[in-house]
């Protein structure tokens, strides 16, 4: 099945007042073109569906947070005209929600304390299937139990069907780290459900997190949202943008060239945006002209480094 056949047959793009999407950056630095592709793509899909679009700052991993990065990201989004329809949420303010979910999983016997270090898991290929910890830690991690033979797959609205054997490919995964930070997987699942997110649009680099998140949703009795994973953005050398020197921040003082570039990277015809010099007019036109059938599944490669004329 090619992507356009699936797109036209799926329900992802039907006009719906119950569509709620989100963009959820981690405050690890300024937004670069790859993150803005996801921001603009998820905004366009939400607008196309007549739905809402939220911004959430994913700052649970305090060891990776860069001071000032969250404020910088919000300033950039505002300059690009991409504003959250509801007040911006920060995961650091939402810890009681994660604690409640963790307690439910502990009570149900699905989660357990784990004293294993990374080296303790060497005999299991680094994938936790049983506790092999040699010593008690003052603060253990908490993991989710994954039974053998637990295969979880999903139909993405853009990418090919994706499936994982959670036991052999992921193992019992961490919900609360030994350093006290909440794991990304738990925070995202709790937040998406609590915020009523119905459609998760994000980069294809997160495809392999989705089965874990679906399993968590099942264990917590939460609904599974629709998923659409946008293509990765590659630099002019074919490397993933965020891993390369070309991952330079977008210029918040001059958003129009970047918005036009992102529009074309999302497979949309450049001429359809017209010649406006207003961000608001460009976004209004983009929201009306956007055609999700034109989204590409394969990674998209920049033809020239961002910022070059």
Shortest distance, position 62 Cβ to Zn ion, whole Å: 23
Shortest distance, position 64 Cβ to Zn ion, whole Å: 23
- CB-facing half-sphere around the CA of 131: CA atoms within 13 A: 18
Shortest distance, position 98 Cβ to Zn ion, whole Å: 20
Shortest distance, position 128 Cβ to Zn ion, whole Å: 6
128 in Cβ contact with 171 (< 8 Å): yes
Choice between 116 and 233, CB closer to Zn ion? 116
Scan for tokens 């992802």, then name that residue: 12
Choice between 147 and 294, CB closer to Zn ion? 147
Shortest distance, position 219 Cβ to Zn ion, whole Å: 18
Choice between 114 and 207, CB closer to Zn ion? 114
Where in the chain does DSSP place strands (E)? 20-23, 52-57, 89-90, 111-114, 141-144, 151-154, 162-165, 173-176, 199-203, 226-230, 233-234, 300-301
Q: Which two tokens stand for residue 184?
A: 């990304």
- Is residue 275 annotated as part of the catalytic site, yes or no? no
Phi-psi region of 142 (alpha: psi -120 to 50; beta: other; left: phi over 0): beta
Q: Could you give the residue ranges of the DSSP H alpha helices within 108-254?
A: 166-169, 184-194, 210-220
Q: Give the whole-angstrom CA distance, residue 117 versus residue 121.
A: 7
Q: Which two tokens stand for residue 291?
A: 């055609």
Element (H, E) at 21: strand 20-23
Binding residues for Zn ion (CB under 5 A): 114, 116, 131
Q: Which two tokens stand for residue 131?
A: 């506790």
Q: Catalytic one among 64, 100, 137, 243? A: 243
Residues annotated as part of the active site: 243
């Amino acid at each position: 099945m090619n992507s356009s056949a699936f797109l036209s047959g799926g329900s992802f793009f039907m006009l719906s007042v119950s569509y709620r999407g989100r963009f959820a950056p981690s405050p690890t630095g300024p937004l670069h073109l790859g993150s803005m592709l996801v921001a603009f793509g998820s905004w366009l899909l939400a607008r196309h569906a007549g739905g809402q679009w939220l911004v959430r700052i994913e700052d649970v991993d305090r060891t990776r947070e860069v001071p000032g990065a969250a404020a910088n990201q919000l300033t950039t989004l505002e300059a690009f005209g991409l504003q959250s329809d509801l007040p911006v949420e920060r995961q650091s303010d939402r810890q009681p929600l994660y604690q409640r979910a963790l307690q439910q999983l502990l009570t149900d016997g699905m989660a357990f304390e784990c004293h294993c270090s990374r080296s303790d898991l060497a005999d299991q290929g680094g994938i936790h299937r049983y506790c092999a910890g040699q010593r008690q830690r003052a603060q253990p991690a908490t993991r989710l139990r994954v039974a053998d033979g637990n295969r979880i797959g999903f139909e993405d609205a853009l990418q090919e069907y994706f499936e994982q054997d959670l036991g052999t490919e992921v193992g019992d995964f961490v919900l609360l780290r030994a350093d006290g930070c909440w794991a990304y997987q738990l925070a995202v699942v709790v937040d998406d459900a609590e915020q009523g997110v119905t459609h998760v649009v994000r980069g294809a680099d997160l495809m392999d997190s989705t089965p874990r998140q679906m399993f968590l949703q099942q264990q917590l009795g939460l609904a599974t949202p629709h998923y659409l994973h946008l293509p990765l953005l590659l630099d002019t050398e074919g490397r993933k943008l965020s891993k390369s020197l070309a991952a330079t921040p977008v210029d918040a003082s001059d958003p129009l060239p970047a918005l036009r570039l992102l529009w074309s990277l999302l497979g949309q015809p450049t001429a359809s945006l017209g010649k406006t010099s207003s961000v608001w007019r460009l976004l209004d036109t983009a929201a009306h002209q956007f055609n999700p059938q034109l989204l590409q599944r394969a990674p998209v490669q920049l033809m020239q480094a961002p910022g070059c004329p």
